[in-house]
Amino acid sequence: MSFISCGNGNAADTSNSNAVSTYTSGGNYKRISQTPDPNRKLENLDVKLKIEGMPNGTFYLMGIFAEQYFLVDSLRPVNGVVHFKRDEPVTPGLYYALYPDRSTAIQMIIDADQSFTLSTVDGDIVNSMKVNGSKETEMLYESMKFELGMQPEFNRVGAAFQNLQVGSAEHNALIEEQKQLMDKKVAHLESMFRKDPKSLFTAFKEAGQNPNIKYDFETNGSLSTAYLAELKKEYWTNTNFDDPRLMRTPVISNKLEKYYGSIMPQQPDSIKKYTDILINQCLNNDEYYKYFVNWITLKYEPTKTSLMDAEAVFVHMIQNYFTKERAFWQDTVQTYGIQMRAYEMASSLVGQVGPNVTADGIDGKTYSINDIKTPYIIVYMWNPECEHCAEQTPKLVDLYNNQSPKEFEVYGIAVNTEDDKWRDAVKKYGMPWISVFDPTNKAIYAKYYVDNTPELYILNPERKIIGKNLKVNQVYTIIDRDKEKRGN
């Protein structure tokens, strides 16, 4: 379910791609939020919503877990009041009273105080909001009003950056002005945090702030490598992983999206390194652990990402976190199945020596990858009835025939087919390279992983895998890049 919230849509700075970091040095941040007493008494839900100019129709009380919204209650106003009431408490978190047409969602923080009244005016939800009985929600709207009041100044400064040269006097002056605005905003928030460090408001808003790292730019205006490296390191510093309430706000899922979407370099080694650092912070919290492990693994599931070697991340996640000891939410059969899939991928990751394959060729002779003498080898996994193979195979034939001098050999492996179909296709395409087929699949099992055919791997002179999941038009890009590294 998607909808538009009033004010700041997620009430967290991580939802705003233009949010600006504070300007002190990283690594010294002392988190203010504290974990509340898990045994504190929760009131039964009793929330009254009064709106001047209230629209007709059914209102919906929505909760959230990670990025999934769920319906708590739905009802129509009676005598101008929407009254959400239960004989039990709801789980603490951020909730939304959703308009009948789903155009507006009125935010509220529900923790121990679950009996309160919200009064406001349609069309001016935030500035007109009055809260009676919920300190958490009162703090939420105080911060939202403050940020709305500052927004014109942030917009003015942001617009003034357009077309300015990085490092110019005008650019530096705007950086300083932006810094002063952020200092004012952060000081206001931190003063609120210190008033009630155990509140969900504090945990939620503090987690949503960017780390305290000074901006550093390259000459082209992009953020510097040093800044991004520090940002990766400090990104989760102000998130309290001992507080389960945060999972019932959008802040955790928003931070994950930003971390892996725009901060993390899309390189398997970096992804694995910083993922381990993140997950190690929440090994003792089952909800965070399960969510992070599943979210990251699904993001880099090989069929769902354009990352060249997504299998490297996927295998790392499965082998380290989807074990029978750690994947407590799965039964042993599910764990075994996903472990076997990772095992099948593990031998053909970029940077590893490509495994040898020995199989019978179309002439009845036996051929091995390790016997090939050309500097580079293309391992081409294909199927005679595959549409994409019909598109890519003729291109590979042309590329092969036009080599001068010959730099690569192709070791073509037919998969999931029958002997006569393989032979007919080899003749049809005029494949000039080594073509093999093993109807038992024993020769290739757990060696070169194939998600979808055709699958194209490139091995360099040391027979290390330097490219995979490639199209034919990318072959020389990968080979030339490897030759440059060698100084050829």
| Residues 93 and 206 placed together within one structural domain of the fold | yes
Q: In what order do the strands lie in the sheet with 93-98?
A: 68-75, 59-65, 93-98, 105-110
Q: Does 223 reside within a domain?
A: no
3-state secondary structure string across 399-419: HHHCCCCCCEEEEEEECCCCH
Helix (H) or strand (E) holding 255: helix 251-258
Contact indicator for 109, 135 with CB cutoff of 8 Å = no
Q: Which of 349, 377, 394 is the last residue of a domain?
A: 349
Query: What integer pLDDT is reported at residue 30 of this predicted model?
Result: 80
Q: What is the pLDDT of residue 366?
A: 96
**222 inside domain:** no
CA separation for the pair 269, 433 (Å, rounded): 34
Residues 132, 202 share a domain:
yes
Residue 218 included in any domain: no
Both 371 and 336 in one domain: the answer is no
DSSP result, 305-316: ---TTHHHHHHH
Residues 394 and 469 in one domain: yes
Tell me, yes or no, whether 188 and 83 share the same domain: yes
CATH, residue 385: 3.40.30.10
Mapped to the 3 state alphabet, what secondary structure does 115-172 carry?
A: EEEEEEECCCCCCCCEEECCHHHHHHHHHHHHHHHHHHHHHHHHHHCCCCCCCCHHHH
pTM: 0.83
127 with 199, same domain? Answer: yes
Domain boundary among 326, 349, 372: 349
304 assigned to some structural domain? yes
Name the domain count of the chain: 3
The answer to whether residue 243 sits within a structural domain is no
Domain for residue 248, yes or no?
no
Angle at 141 between CA 159 and CA 107, to 5 degrees: 95
In this structure, the answer to whether residues 451 and 342 fall within a common structural domain is no
Same domain for 138 and 279? no
The confidence score (pLDDT) of residue 28 equals: 55
Considering 172, 197, 212, which residue would you say is the last residue of a domain? 212
Whether 303 and 377 map to the same domain: the answer is no
What is the C-alpha to C-alpha distance for residues 482 and 488, in angstroms, rounded to an integer? 9
Pair 70, 197 in one domain:
yes
**Long-range CB pairs of 428-431, under 8 A, 24+ apart, other chains included:** 429/393, 429/394, 429/397, 430/397, 431/393, 431/397
Query: Quick one: 73 and 160 in the same domain?
Result: yes
**106 with 188, same domain?**
yes
Q: Give the pLDDT score at 221.
A: 62
Mean pLDDT by 10 residues, the chain (488 residues): 38 35 44 92 97 95 96 95 97 97 96 97 96 97 96 92 85 87 91 95 94 68 76 90 96 95 90 94 92 95 84 95 93 94 94 96 95 97 95 97 94 96 96 95 92 94 95 96 88
Residue 412 lies in domain: 358-486
Give a yes or no: residue 245 inside a domain: no
Asked whether residue 239 is domain-assigned, the answer is no
pLDDT on residue 87: 96
Res 295: pLDDT: 96
